[in-house]
């Protein structure tokens, strides 16, 4: 039966493929394909892990003390029975032999199938056995992890011709897990949870693959292996489409690929408006390896390196100064002399460090993470870690143009502490004989307080970067990751537009650099408005650079600026912008 699920469009384009349901708790399980001649060996690896767990359970059972409650032995029997059930390894084996999944993936795929069968059982006792099944799977995954050395080499999707494209469906995916899906086998994402600028959505956009979030129940309604279309522009998911609908979307998919190829030709064209204003189009990156895509897309620098992604998936150990230095240096060298703006770690809110690390740092009881010990607050609360990061950033400055960006600043006292720490760090580096050059210091404008008091902040910094994702969240009191209030998350809200406009105007009046690095900068719907406000530096995912550049090439900044007041004073800024700013747009950029 064909049906649709509606969500929030977060990453454009159309993806067509088979659904792979992954339980949120198992999103971090490795997903890769195994070469055909290794399939039997992979199945054997699974059987060995199963046998190791069976032995462990048998031993546990044999060693139960005489007076142990008899439920314990019964429970171990249930686990052993599940483990030896044909539906367990046999089912997982099918995923290996037919789909070429690695053992961990095959096991979690089979768990999804069996868990649904348990959910549908009438009998309460049997239904509750799902928890036992999950525990058994957890044990086998643990055994597989212990024997990781035996795992086959993953083959990349490109080498694998026989498989339909795969689309990931999960209740939720944490940003830290998303990062592992970069260059993964999945061609699209669907989640129940999330908003347009949640970090999961941001990473999906950076991967340039279609995604829909905030569907609320896609992971319950979609079945393993269903045919699914993701319409990343409309925010809809079509499950088991009819042949006619499928054909229509295949056509749209081809059209959007052609459009991308057409836009890619703008790569070497300088971003200059019709009236000769030169515009910087910088890239947002999460890892040093992303710098290559930034150069390929024609970025003229990195406007936001979200360094916190280096701090995730660490299982307790944060990156050392040397490890950070190597990462920053790699990004700087990859940008070949173009500026690289490194933001100090912005953990907290929807980008938590993993549990172990957080516990170790004793910050585990977070009541309201978006308003808690996040970003610069966290860095100032962990001064030795902050100094370590600053040292690594300054050391990278010896290899290219580095700029330092501080997230979530709201107080002058924070800026003073940052400046003092920078001084201390410079002295430490000099004493240790490390080379560094001048690093411009910037703060992010993400909290309304910072925008309102900007003239004071500007006295102490070289540049500012407007983080519209958080600025909208904090101005409108809307959790950016919460789909329940996503309809109220409105970049067109007059208060948001006023704060952005004022910030750009004040920074320019003070002769300081100003850019926008939130998602608005990469959305072509806002290019003209931001140009009209006087913005000359945009930072976005590399994949969005061509579409924004096309808008820049067609824009006349003087005509746009003349229309700005009418937009800002309008009760319907979006409608007014569409009318007023579109009439100031001329010409066709791509020939
Ligand atoms: C922002 O808030 O706009 C921003 C760029 O930072 P992040 O999305 O990483 O919070
Ligand atoms: Mg932010």
Q: Is the CB of 468 under 6 A from ligand 1?
A: yes
pLDDT of 200 reads 80
Q: How far is the CA of 28 from the centre of ligand 1 (A)?
A: 24
Nearest protein Cα to ligand 1, atom 3: 467
28 assigned to some structural domain: no
Q: How far is the CA of 296 from the centre of ligand 1 (A)?
A: 23
Helix (H) or strand (E) holding 507: helix 494-509
Q: For position 343, which CATH number holds?
A: 3.20.20.60
Domain containing 207 equals 3-22+157-261
Same domain, residue pair 82 and 177? no
**At which of 227, 261, 295 does a domain end?**
261
Nearest protein Cα to ligand 1, atom 8: 469
Atom of ligand 1 nearest to the CA of 467: 3
Number of domains in the chain: 3
pLDDT of 354 reads 60
Same domain, residue pair 490 and 356? yes
SS3 278: strand
Q: Would you say residue 348 has pLDDT above 80? A: no
Nearest protein Cα to ligand 1, atom 1: 467
30 assigned to some structural domain: no
Same domain, residue pair 444 and 458? yes
- Known binder of ligand: residue 343? yes
Q: Is the CB of 470 under 6 A from ligand 1?
A: yes
- Known binder of ligand: residue 480? yes
pLDDT band at 158 (very low <50, low <70, confident <90, very high): very low
pLDDT of 355 reads 47
Q: Which residues 6+ apart lie within 8 Å of 512 measured at CB?
A: 458, 461, 462, 463, 464
Q: How far is the CA of 407 from the centre of ligand 2 (A)?
A: 7
Q: How far is the CA of 563 from the centre of ligand 1 (A)?
A: 28
Does residue 199 have an active-site annotation?
Answer: yes
388 assigned to some structural domain: yes
SS3 238: strand
Number of CB atoms found within 10 A of residue 345's CB: 25
DSSP 152: P
Same domain, residue pair 162 and 72? no
Report in angstroms the alpha-carbon separations of 588 from 523, 548, 580: 19, 13, 18
Nearest protein Cα to ligand 1, atom 4: 467
Same domain, residue pair 516 and 388? yes
Q: Which of 199, 282, 363, 501 is catalytic?
A: 199
Q: How far is the CA of 580 from the centre of ligand 2 (A)?
A: 30
Same domain, residue pair 78 and 184? no
Atom of ligand 1 nearest to the CA of 197: 8
29 assigned to some structural domain: no
pLDDT of 161 reads 46
Give the residue among 207, 171, 191, 179 at the shortest CA–CA distance from 8: 191
> pTM of the prediction?
0.83
Measured distance CA(390)–CA(321) in Å, rounded: 9
Same domain, residue pair 317 and 188? no
526 assigned to some structural domain: yes
- With a pLDDT cut of 90, the percent of the chain lying above it is 61
β 14-21/463-466 pair status:
unpaired
Mutate to test the pocket of ligand 1, among 202, 205, 444, 467 (most ligand atoms within 8 A of CB): 467
148-162, 280-294, 535-549: range with lowest mean pLDDT: 148-162
**At which of 118, 150, 182 does a domain end?**
150
> What's the pLDDT tens digit per position in 313-325?
776 688 999 999 9
Atom of ligand 1 nearest to the CA of 349: 10
SS3 197: coil
**At which of 125, 150, 175 does a domain end?**
150
Q: Is the CB of 469 under 6 A from ligand 1?
A: yes
- Known binder of ligand: residue 470? yes
Q: Which residues 6+ apart lie within 8 Å of 254 measured at CB?
A: none
Q: For position 102, which CATH number holds?
A: 1.10.274.10
Q: What is 314-383 written as a DSSP string?
A: -TT-PPPHHHHHHHHHHHHHHTTTS-EEEEPP--BTTBPPPHHHHHHTT----SSGGGSS-HHHHHHHSH
Residue with tokens 């229509």: 248
590 assigned to some structural domain: no
Same domain, residue pair 533 and 551? yes
- Known binder of ligand: residue 469? yes
Give 216: exposed, middle or buried? Use CB within 10 Å, 0-12, 13-18, 19+.
middle
Q: How far is the CA of 79 from the centre of ligand 1 (A)?
A: 45
Residues 325, 392: contact at Cβ < 8 Å?
Answer: yes
Same domain, residue pair 180 and 289? no
Give 396: exposed, middle or buried? Use CB within 10 Å, 0-12, 13-18, 19+.
buried
Q: Is the CB of 517 under 6 A from ligand 1?
A: yes
> What's the pLDDT tens digit per position in 51-62?
999 999 898 888
197 assigned to some structural domain: yes
Same domain, residue pair 413 and 544? yes
SS3 453: coil
Number of CB atoms found within 10 A of residue 124's CB: 7
Q: For position 173, which CATH number holds?
A: 3.50.30.10
226 assigned to some structural domain: yes
Measured distance CA(536)–CA(477) in Å, rounded: 28
Residues 397, 403: contact at Cβ < 8 Å?
Answer: no
Does residue 31 have an active-site annotation?
Answer: no
Q: Is the CB of 195 under 6 A from ligand 1?
A: no
> What's the pLDDT tens digit per position in 117-137?
887 877 777 777 788 888 889
Same domain, residue pair 109 and 167? no
129-143, 273-287, 335-349, 538-552: range with lowest mean pLDDT: 129-143
Same domain, residue pair 357 and 270? yes
């Amino acid at each position: 039966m064909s049906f649709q699920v509606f969500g929030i469009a977060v990453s454009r384009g159309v993806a067509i493929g088979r659904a792979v349901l992954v339980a949120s708790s198992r999103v971090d399980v490795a997903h890769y394909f195994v070469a055909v001649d290794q399939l039997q060996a992979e199945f054997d690896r699974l059987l060995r892990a199963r046998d190791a767990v069976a032995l462990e359970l048998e031993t546990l059972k044999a060693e139960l003390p005489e007076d142990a409650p008899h439920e314990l032995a019964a429970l171990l029997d249930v686990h052993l029975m599940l483990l030896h059930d044909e539906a367990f390894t046999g089912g997982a084996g099918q995923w290996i032999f037919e789909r070429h999944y690695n053992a961990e993936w095959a096991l979690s795929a089979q768990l999804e199938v069996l868990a649904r069968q348990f959910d549908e059982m009438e009998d309460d006792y049997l239904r509750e056995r799902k928890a036992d099944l999950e525990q058994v799977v957890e044990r086998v995954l643990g055994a597989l992890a212990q024997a990781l050395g035996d795992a086959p080499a993953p083959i990349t999707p490109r080498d694998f011709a026989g498989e339909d494209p795969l689309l990931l469906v999960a209740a939720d995916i944490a940003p830290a897990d998303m990062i592992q899906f970069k260059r993964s086998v999945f061609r699209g994402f669907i989640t129940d949870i999330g908003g347009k600028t949640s970090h999961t959505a941001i990473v999906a956009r950076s991967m340039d693959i279609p995604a829909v979030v905030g569907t609320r129940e896609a992971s319950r309604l979609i079945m393993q292996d269903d045919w699914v279309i993701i319409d990343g522009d409309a925010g809809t998911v079509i499950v088991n489409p009819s042949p006619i609908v499928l054909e229509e979307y295949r056509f749209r998919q081809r059209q959007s690929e052609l459009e991308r190829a057409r836009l890619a030709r703008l790569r070497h064209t300088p971003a200059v408006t019709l009236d000769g204003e030169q515009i910087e189009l910088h890239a947002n990156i999460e890892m040093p390896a992303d710098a290559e895509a930034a150069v390929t897309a024609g970025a003229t620098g990195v406007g936001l390196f979200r360094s916190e992604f280096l701090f995730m998936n660490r299982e307790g150990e944060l990156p050392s100064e040397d490890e950070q230095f190597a990462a920053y240096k790699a990004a700087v060298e990859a940008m070949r002399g173009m500026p690289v703006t490194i933001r100090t770690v912005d953990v907290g809110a929807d980008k938590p460090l993993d549990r172990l690390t957080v516990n170790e740092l004793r910050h585990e009881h977070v009541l309201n993470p978006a308003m808690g010990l996040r970003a610069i607050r966290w860095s100032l609360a962990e001064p030795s870690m902050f100094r370590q990061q600053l040292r690594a950033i300054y050391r990278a400055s010896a290899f290219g143009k580095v700029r330092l960006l501080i997230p979530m600043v709201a107080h002058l006292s924070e800026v003073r502490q940052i400046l003092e720490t920078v001084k201390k760090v410079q002295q430490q580096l000099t004493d240790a004989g490390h080379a560094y050059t001048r690093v411009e210091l910037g703060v992010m404008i993400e909290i309304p307080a910072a925008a309102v008091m900007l003239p004071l902040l500007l006295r102490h910094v070289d540049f500012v970067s407007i983080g519209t994702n958080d600025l909208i969240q904090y101005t409108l009191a809307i959790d950016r990751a919460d789909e329940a209030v996503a309809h109220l998350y409105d970049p067109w809200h007059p208060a948001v537009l006023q704060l952005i406009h004022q910030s750009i105007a004040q920074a320019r009046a003070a002769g300081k650099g100003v850019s926008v690095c939130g998602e608005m900068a990469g959305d072509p719907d806002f290019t003209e408005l931001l140009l009209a406000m006087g913005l000359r530096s945009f930072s976005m995912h590399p994949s969005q650079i061509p579409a924004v550049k096309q808008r820049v090439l067609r824009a006349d900044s003087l005509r746009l600026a003349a229309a700005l007041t009418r937009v800002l004073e309008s009760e319907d800024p979006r409608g007014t912008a569409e009318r007023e700013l579109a009439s100031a747009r001329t010409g066709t950029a791509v020939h």
